[in-house]
Structure 1
């Protein structure tokens, strides 16, 4: 007997009077119960399987009577409206399909805002008494319902998650959006970062089967046709796959490749060992490498996805300016899908271990983003960002390090399924990622102006400060500054400093500026927004010492009196 009775399965005939004796064999009862489900509740016919028959062995007559109470006499099923707790049964989400669809239509906006604003670039110009050097643009993408999902029984495969509903994002993309549109708004600005010697990161986060790999593969395809092959720039490509501490170079052709290692040098630089780096002379060379990397991704069937990515896929594009030698980075990261207990209930021990590693690294990534956005507020630079806990966050350290000497822009692409059956997981995904965007640049009110923060300098102040610190090296400071204010100078890429001031002097001024930017970000402030100077800190330290000495003196006096009394 097969485990699942399909409609085409031959079954013993049901007695004409439908009165099956209590001592009849299980196959006869199975035939009768199958016929009942097929007539009264065909959407649940899959329940007639060996597990059900074993559970009700010896009590098939009781089972049949329960079915009649729940779904009505054979051939006369009870109306859906009567199938509620206390009225013979429990409703499923599919029973409320029409009601849900109407509610979603009422809650969804009739028209989404225009998406032609360059949010990624505008966020990098945010200034709250200090330039925000690492920004996070948070987007959502709701995938379309797939044809095979519409055919699934149960009635639960209808859309309840739509763009612009209840959650706020910088960009919201729906089922009609394509990868070209998403690339233009989210990734094209990151290519500019990379070409300028800065850092850009885009990663897709969400439930397995929510469209992350489709989105990231589309972005990689668009990158191959982009302006990244700019004259005077050398392009290199690397593709890694990461699960916990296990890292694989997908493009390494060695028969026995050495293990990939990622670590941190004493000077703070991130070092990679045994990683193959592939020069790309043109678009076709990058296409070939991207195609090979896609084909070598580790996938496995899960409850939600027949080809689920079982590790994080990390594409790294490096662009080096030939004239100055400055290198920018662009990371395109296809995160492995998060899974709920329902998604992983049929996993074996190996799959469960994978799921644990995936969910742990995703949790750490979210914690790092939250901590970094909190640290962006003036006076909050002392917040710890735990990027060293995980190899993925260590690899993109620049995004999280307060003292990173270049501007970084990160795009979080939150992918969700529209299906009612996935609504719990989708809702959790949106709740986790949505608030990440509002933390950036909130700041405190009535902040005392930090005179040593370059972002607060006027053009005249910038000229005076640079002349005082590096006038002898730069020469014509006015020509170097070129009418820019402090905040505009802070936003200039490193290679521009080297072009304006020469490689050696320009580098010195650049590093000096970024040391001042970092100092300003980590400067302590009181709750009222005033700055705690070094003199203030020393005075406070001395006051604590004085209070401690006074407390010790008082206790010594008390002990004298106690000894006299006893």
Structure 2
């Protein structure tokens, strides 16, 4: 197939030049929101010297921001005539073009996770894609930026005793099939165990306290040196396992424990690559594909539950305003996190079993997926598979309808607000003394504020000087009333 592409580069480029993208689909006054707490993005790797030397043109063409659509062009060897162009388009929430740095991706996707984790949330970042697409490059730098962002605030806020105001612990493990290893203990085998309360334990894994970015970066480098790799057609040092970096943050000032997971998923392979490595590599690839399939089901299941919970909250608020009984809540979906070692370790992220006795069930989570793709036409099949997988992770949230006013500007309720609108509303409606939007909603959207529990909402309000419990309750009631009326 590669030789077919190379023989017809001129024909391919002429067809791509004449291609007219189909118009983006619109739905009038309806705006499809994303599932709360979920962002699916794509990062296009730059052309490398080896790509240029191979002679393949680009197959990946992102459309102008902010629509998140990527056009993929493939050349089809038609048996009855000249080669023809086959074009596909895929939609994600955000597209990062080759010139975008990892630092910019952090500022766009991960900055909001830092205060969320510091306040007891569970944040997860997945890097997925074909081997050689830049997954490990991306996640390694994000790990460094995350610890740099997490540590300074705590170091600058010592307790009266002079000790740091938060305990930050780092664990990095590797999953190869159903086997697990501690990358900070020279790849020592560990066990993934679940106790009678449903809590997952990484038995034998070391947890290292970190107090400075330099100490964390040193540990990250040690872990990378013990990561399992193997040679493939696309990469001489392809990651043949999943790597999970877990940062645990215990914040005594709020009595919360948050987690940030940064996951470098094993590189996917084409069938032609597997065929050159025999039965062992085929078995390895089967295990990787199975774990990725279970991961997809778990991410979608959790996102669908978040949307369902959001809908039930909206229904309850509507019923409360109208003085009617709300309908019977829908049953919880089954999320199969026990079917894979990868998803079992990440039970924090997927478990929705509130009231089951587990210390992990029902926690608020936010998930970021970065699908990394190679731009070369020679990798077009793997690129389509990666973006198809990314599309399947997206779950449509509730539909918000723009409420038009005669002669006025359209506006929508809190369900469709971004953080800027939330903060403006708080400033205009909190009364005196002012409730700080920086404390109440540092990064939250309107949908995320509606998901916030009453205790968390009021607790954050009362962290502003002089604010009473009554004022906090009044602001929450006003917010929900405005949402119901919208």
TM-score (norm 1): 0.57
Counterpart contact for 2:440–2:461, Cα < 8 Å: no
For 1:201-212, list aligned pairs within 5 A. Answer: 201-212=124-135
Counterpart contact for 1:248–1:260, Cα < 8 Å: yes
Q: After the TM superposition, which of the residue ranges 359-368 and 221-230 deviates more from structure 2? A: 221-230
Residues 494 and 415 of structure 1: CA distance in aligned 2, closer, same or farther (over 3 Å): farther
Aligned to 1:248: 181
Distance in 2, Cα, partners of 1:391 & 1:283: 30
Answering whether residue 18 of structure 2 is matched by residue 95 of structure 1, we say: no
SS of 2:184's partner is: coil
Aligned to 1:150: 52
Answering whether residue 234 of structure 2 is matched by residue 304 of structure 1, we say: yes
Bigger relative CO (Cα 8 Å, ≥ 6 apart)? 2
Distance in 2, Cα, partners of 1:442 & 1:261: 43
Shift of residue 226, structure 1, vs aligned partner: 1.7
Distance in 2, Cα, partners of 1:98 & 1:320: 59
Aligned to 2:380: 423
SS of 1:314's partner is: strand
For 1:225-236, list aligned pairs within 5 A. Answer: 225-231=148-154, 232-236=165-169
Counterpart contact for 2:300–2:395, Cα < 8 Å: no
Aligned to 1:49: none
Distance in 1, Cα, partners of 2:14 & 2:383: 19
Q: Which one has a larger percent helix, Structure 1 or Structure 2?
A: 1
Aligned to 1:197: 120
Task: State the superposition RMSD in angstroms.
Answer: 3.4
Which of 132, 137, 150 matches 2:39? 137
Answering whether residue 471 of structure 2 is matched by residue 491 of structure 1, we say: no
Residues 380 and 212 of structure 1: CA distance in aligned 2, closer, same or farther (over 3 Å): farther
Counterpart contact for 1:326–1:495, Cα < 8 Å: no
Q: Map Cα deviations across residues 427-463 of structure 1 (whole Å, 9 max, x no partner).
A: 12211212422434469xxxxxxxxxxx99xxxxxxx
Answering whether residue 362 of structure 2 is matched by residue 405 of structure 1, we say: yes
Residues 183 and 499 of structure 1: CA distance in aligned 2, closer, same or farther (over 3 Å): closer
Distance in 2, Cα, partners of 1:399 & 1:228: 23
Distance in 2, Cα, partners of 1:405 & 1:385: 13
Q: After the TM superposition, which of the residue ranges 348-357 and 171-180 deviates more from structure 2? A: 348-357
Residues 424 and 494 of structure 1: CA distance in aligned 2, closer, same or farther (over 3 Å): farther
Counterpart contact for 1:339–1:355, Cα < 8 Å: yes
Aligned to 2:220: 290
Distance in 2, Cα, partners of 1:334 & 1:357: 16
Aligned to 1:384: 334
Counterpart contact for 2:351–2:362, Cα < 8 Å: no
Shift of residue 483, structure 1, vs aligned partner: 11
Distance in 1, Cα, partners of 2:246 & 2:258: 10
SS of 1:294's partner is: helix
Residues 394 and 501 of structure 1: CA distance in aligned 2, closer, same or farther (over 3 Å): farther
Q: Map Cα deviations across residues 406-436 of structure 1 (whole Å, 9 max, x no partner).
A: 3100011111111111111211221121242
Counterpart contact for 2:124–2:262, Cα < 8 Å: yes
Aligned to 1:162: 61
Residues 170 and 209 of structure 1: CA distance in aligned 2, closer, same or farther (over 3 Å): same
Q: After the TM superposition, which of the residue ranges 136-145 and 225-234 deviates more from structure 2? A: 225-234
Q: Which one has a larger percent strand, Structure 1 or Structure 2?
A: 2
Counterpart contact for 2:440–2:460, Cα < 8 Å: no
Answering whether residue 84 of structure 2 is matched by residue 182 of structure 1, we say: no
Distance in 1, Cα, partners of 2:242 & 2:126: 10
SS of 1:343's partner is: helix
Counterpart contact for 1:324–1:498, Cα < 8 Å: no
Q: Map Cα deviations across residues 496-520 of structure 1 (whole Å, 9 max, x no partner).
A: 7678899xxxxxxxxxxxxxxxxxx
Aligned to 1:321: 251
Shift of residue 138, structure 1, vs aligned partner: 0.3
Aligned residues: 353
Distance in 2, Cα, partners of 1:326 & 1:424: 45
Counterpart contact for 1:262–1:395, Cα < 8 Å: yes
Distance in 2, Cα, partners of 1:329 & 1:285: 19
SS of 1:344's partner is: helix
Counterpart contact for 2:173–2:245, Cα < 8 Å: yes
TM-score (norm 2): 0.65
Distance in 2, Cα, partners of 1:494 & 1:350: 53
SS of 2:92's partner is: coil
Distance in 2, Cα, partners of 1:319 & 1:493: 23
Aligned to 2:403: none
Distance in 2, Cα, partners of 1:214 & 1:350: 26
Counterpart contact for 2:166–2:252, Cα < 8 Å: yes
SS of 2:42's partner is: strand
Which ranges of structure 1 fall in alignment gaps of 5 or more residues? Answer: 1-43, 45-90, 113-121, 127-131, 444-454, 457-478, 503-566
Distance in 2, Cα, partners of 1:393 & 1:494: 30
Counterpart contact for 1:195–1:321, Cα < 8 Å: yes
Counterpart contact for 1:139–1:414, Cα < 8 Å: yes
Residues 499 and 491 of structure 1: CA distance in aligned 2, closer, same or farther (over 3 Å): closer
Residues 289 and 359 of structure 1: CA distance in aligned 2, closer, same or farther (over 3 Å): same
SS of 2:111's partner is: helix
Counterpart contact for 1:320–1:326, Cα < 8 Å: yes
Distance in 2, Cα, partners of 1:307 & 1:428: 22
Residues 315 and 102 of structure 1: CA distance in aligned 2, closer, same or farther (over 3 Å): farther
Counterpart contact for 1:216–1:333, Cα < 8 Å: yes
Aligned to 2:170: 237
Distance in 2, Cα, partners of 1:262 & 1:250: 15
Distance in 1, Cα, partners of 2:454 & 2:280: 46
Shift of residue 171, structure 1, vs aligned partner: 0.8
Distance in 2, Cα, partners of 1:349 & 1:246: 19
Distance in 1, Cα, partners of 2:385 & 2:186: 40
Answering whether residue 313 of structure 2 is matched by residue 393 of structure 1, we say: no
